[in-house]
Chains A and B, each alone.
Chain A
Amino acid sequence: EVQLQESGPGLVKPSQSLSLTCSVTGYSITSNYWGWIRKFPGNKMEWIGHISYSGSTSYNPSLKSRISITRDTSKNQFFLQLNSVTTEDTATYYCARQGWITTTDDYWGQGVMVTVSS
C-alpha cells in the first residue's frame, strides 16, 4: 500500500526558509508525479508544485520564485523548500501522489501544520 508521511518543523520564523520532507513507502518515487498541496486556516487549498518520475518539476507561478522541490531516490523521499516565508505561508502542508489512471492526487500524507511566527 502506498503511504506518505510529511515531516518538518512546525514553527518557522518570518523571512526564514521552510523545509519539509515527504517519505514514501510502498511505491517508488521514480514512477508517477509527487506533489505538495497546502490548506490555509479556513478552507482554502492551494497546489504548490510537483516533481515527476524523471525529476522534472512544475511549480505554481504564484510561488515559483520562492520554492524548490527536490528528491532523494535512494531514500524514496522528496522535499519542499519555501524561502522567505511570511505569516501568509501558515498552513497545513500535504504531500501526495498523482496516479496514472486517476490523473490526480490519489494518495495523501497526513499533513504537517506549519506556523510562521516570530
Chain B
Amino acid sequence: DVVLTQTPVSLLISLGGQASISCRSSQSLVHSNGNTYLHWYLQKPGQSPQLLIYQVSNRFSGIPDRFSGSGSGTDFTLKISRVEPEDLGVYYCLQRTHNPPTFGGGTKLELK
C-alpha cells in the first residue's frame, strides 16, 4: 500500500498566522491518466471529515481561499493563511491514485 507521511504531527499557530502541512508519498501519485488524486480533509472536533482540497489544488465548494494546495509527484503541501478558530482540528491527506486508497497519519492544528 502507498504510505503517506504527514508532517508535522501537531502544529501550534497563532490566530491570523499561517500554517503549512506536508504530505509525502512512498510513490508517485500521478495516475496513468495524468491526473493526481491527492486530496485534503479537515476533521473538526466532534464532526466528520470535510473535504477541503481535491486533486492537489482545487478547493471544494464553500472552502475559503485561505486554504490552498500544491505539489506534484510525491510531495504535497496544504497551506492555511490567516488562521481562524474554525480551522482547528486534524488535517488529513488522502491518495486515491493507487488501490487501496490510503490516508496520511494526520496533523493536529491547535492555537498557540
Inter-chain CA distance A105–B48, complex, in Å, is: 11
Instruction: Say yes or no: A104-B48 contact (C-beta < 8 A), given A58-B99, A61-B100.
Output: no
Q: Among the listed B55, B101, B108, which residue makes an inter-chain contact with A47, where contact means beta carbons less than 8 Å apart?
A: B101
A34 to chain B, nearest CB (A): 14
Within 8 A of A (CB), among B24-58: 35, 37, 39, 43, 47-51, 54-55, 58
Asked whether, in the complex, the Cβ of B51 is within 8 Å of the Cβ of A105, the reply is yes
Asked whether, in the complex, the Cβ of B50 is within 8 Å of the Cβ of A108, the reply is yes
Asked whether, in the complex, the Cβ of A45 is within 8 Å of the Cβ of B103, the reply is yes
On chain A, which size bracket covers the interface? 20 to 34
Q: Is the interface of A mostly helix, strand, loop or mixed?
A: loop
Closest B residue, CB atoms, query A95: B48
On chain B, which size bracket covers the interface? 20 to 34
A26 to chain B, nearest CB (A): 15
Asked whether, in the complex, the Cβ of B37 is within 8 Å of the Cβ of A103, the reply is yes
Asked whether, in the complex, the Cβ of B48 is within 8 Å of the Cβ of A47, the reply is no
Q: Among the listed A47, A99, A103, A111, which residue makes an inter-chain contact with B100, where contact means beta carbons less than 8 Å apart?
A: A47
Asked whether, in the complex, the Cβ of A103 is within 8 Å of the Cβ of B96, the reply is yes
| Contact residues in B for A43 (Cβ distance below 8 Å) | 90, 92, 105-106, 108
B12 to chain A, nearest CB (A): 17
| Contact residues in A for B99 (Cβ distance below 8 Å) | 58
| Contact residues in B for A110 (Cβ distance below 8 Å) | 47-48
Instruction: Say yes or no: A47-B39 contact (C-beta < 8 A), given A94-B49, A104-B96.
Output: no
Q: Mark A37-53, 1 if CB is under 8 A from B, else 0.
A: 00100011111000000
A77 to chain B, nearest CB (A): 18
Q: Mark A96-117, 1 if CB is under 8 A from B, else 0.
A: 0001001111101111000000
Q: A60 in the interface, Cβ–Cβ < 8 Å?
A: yes
Can you list 6 A-B pairs, Cβ within 8 angstroms, ordered by A?
Answer: A39-B43, A43-B108, A44-B103, A47-B101, A61-B100, A109-B48
